[in-house]
Amino acid sequence: MRIDRRKALKSLSALGASTALLGAYKASGKTEPRKGDVASQRPNILVFLTDDHGQWLQQAYGNSEVHTPNMTRIATNGVRMTNAFTPTPVCSPARASFLTGRMPSQHGIHDWLEEKRQAFAFPWLKGQTLISELLKNRGYHTGLVGKWHCGGERYPHPGFDFWFSYWVSQYPHLGLQNFSDNGTHVSDNGFQAPMLTRQAMRFLQDHYNDQATSTKPWFLYVSYTDTHSPHIQMPSNLVSEYDAANFRDIPVETFSKVHGTALSPVSVDAAFELAKKREYYAAASSIDREVGTILDGLERRGVLSNTLVIYTSDHGLNAGQHGIWEKGNATVPQNFLEESIRVPCAISWPYGTIPANLESDLLVNHCDLFATLLDAADATPDTETAKLINSPGRSYLSYLRGYGGTEWRKSVICEYGNARMIRKDGYKLILRYPYENVTFANELYDLRADPRETVNLLSTSSSAYGSLVRELSDEINSFFATYTVPGHSGLDLEHQPMATPASPWIRAVEMKRQERK
């Protein structure tokens, strides 16, 4: 039975599985999988976690001009999460949160790791339990292709049987490419994305051709970088697809001083802006083409139905929205704009009794995805290990299947360095803390009345929102009282290794010094 998403529901509400979804689900003739059923078999797991891909830049999320049919294919064959967020709006810490199930104040990475600095080789996640280890320990054959960016990328990290990442950095998109093939330096010339796809297909071919692994389920983590700046060098045939685009899904906005200083403002050169947008849209189409190649390969092998496929991104991106480009580090102080923190997240698994062509409005993030994949793989950590990891993530697998569970959270919390955010009941509160005695004002936005986040309610009539601010602040403080590891807190950055001197809090100190001169 085909379920019309427009009529079905906001399918998996924060109060549990809705009557509409359960009714539609039962009408399809499916029942909850029992141990031993084909639907209960542990799936292969294919995670596409790409770079700087804003939720808004997908057909499945309503973009009227971008061409991403294979990403839509995943959403159509499963569930599209409409309220998926990153734990932090910059790449390295967001990726570490998926890999460990922990917040930055637990795993200790608070900004992108600059490859040219000694900090890049620092053992950031050493001693922490990775999703790859948990899956490998439960019999999975595991592989990574593409971006790691949580410390040195040349050599395989724990739990990965197959490793194809970067030798120096993720650049360029086109040209001489330097990779690490399980710790050996290899190079090639051309477009990077198809090269990564060939390695993903190599992992799958080797898996099924090897008697020792062919009977095992597999986990493959694929991370393309086309959508990351610089927005250049995409295939010309894809760029030309957007020659007539007017990019109507991007609001034409000027930067609001309520967000501080824009580090990556929109250019006054209209032709330059159009070229960047064409490249960014073409980058999404480039990744989509590679996603399709891998999905087609799985379908030919007859294993796609029992493969849990996820398409998501480390964080979002502004491409002119709010008058800026880039993500949380596009401003000083750092921002938590919706375009920065919202990520695409579509999940399909037909054999796992996940219905097709539905959407979910659960508030979820990468820590929840960590828990959900482990749940599906029957690899949830034992009590002792779970206590050591202390993940705030919860599995939403039962919600995807339509059975619901205990009441889901009504808020989502993010952090980026010395700033923390909570989004709840239509309000967004940002608490800012000092770094080297430099700090900024807290912010409160009413997302229903002011969806473009232009009015900081605390700068206009803070007394009217005192009880709300206290309530939301208490929730943030309670959360981090539980999910902080000593020595890793974002409120104690002065005593931790520097990820990059370009961090917004470091730039803020430099800007203050310049003002005093």
> Is 60 exceeded by the pLDDT of residue 383?
yes
- Among the listed ranges 12-26, 64-78, 318-332, which one has the minimum average pLDDT value? 12-26
- Among the listed ranges 25-29, 389-393, 421-425, which one has the minimum average pLDDT value? 25-29
Confidence of residue 464 (pLDDT cuts 50, 70, 90): confident
| Paired residues of 325 in beta bridges | 319
Confidence of residue 307 (pLDDT cuts 50, 70, 90): very high
- Among the listed ranges 18-32, 126-140, 177-191, which one has the minimum average pLDDT value? 18-32
Confidence of residue 176 (pLDDT cuts 50, 70, 90): very high
> Is 80 exceeded by the pLDDT of residue 29?
no
Over range 14-35, report the average pLDDT.
43
Specify the pLDDT at position 119. Answer: 64
Peptide bond into 350 cis (omega under 30): no
The 10s digit of each residue's pLDDT in 225-280 is 999 999 999 999 999 999 999 999 999 999 999 999 999 999 999 999 999 999 99
Over range 119-126, report the average pLDDT.
82
The DSSP bridge pattern shows strands 174-181 and 307-313 to be unpaired
149-164: burial string, b at 16+ Cβ within 10 Å, e else: bbbbbbebbebbbbbb
The 10s digit of each residue's pLDDT in 7-20 is 333 444 433 333 33
Specify the pLDDT at position 461. Answer: 66
Specify the pLDDT at position 1. Answer: 26
104-120: burial string, b at 16+ Cβ within 10 Å, e else: bbbbbbbbbbbbeeebb
Specify the pLDDT at position 401. Answer: 94
The 10s digit of each residue's pLDDT in 279-292 is 999 999 999 999 99
Q: Is 332 exposed, middle or buried (0-12, 13-18, 19+ CB in 10 A)?
A: buried
Over range 290-316, report the average pLDDT.
98
Confidence of residue 460 (pLDDT cuts 50, 70, 90): confident
High-pLDDT (> 90) share of the chain, %: 87
E strand map for 370-442: 411-416, 419-424, 427-432
Cβ atoms 164, 182 nearer than 8 A: yes
Over range 179-186, report the average pLDDT.
98
The Cα–Cα gap between 68 and 54 comes to 13
Specify the pLDDT at position 404. Answer: 85
Residue 91: φ, ψ to 5°: -65, -60
> Is 80 exceeded by the pLDDT of residue 463?
no
> Is 50 exceeded by the pLDDT of residue 6?
no
Q: Look up tokens 């009441």; give the residue.
A: 407
Over range 504-514, report the average pLDDT.
96
The Cα–Cα gap between 45 and 155 comes to 22
- Among the listed ranges 111-115, 179-183, 219-223, 340-344, which one has the minimum average pLDDT value? 111-115
The 10s digit of each residue's pLDDT in 411-436 is 999 999 999 999 999 999 999 999 99
Specify the pLDDT at position 38. Answer: 45
Which domains does the chain possess?
5-16+43-267+274-400 (3.40.720.10), 411-516 (3.30.1120.10)
Cβ atoms 390, 483 nearer than 8 A: yes
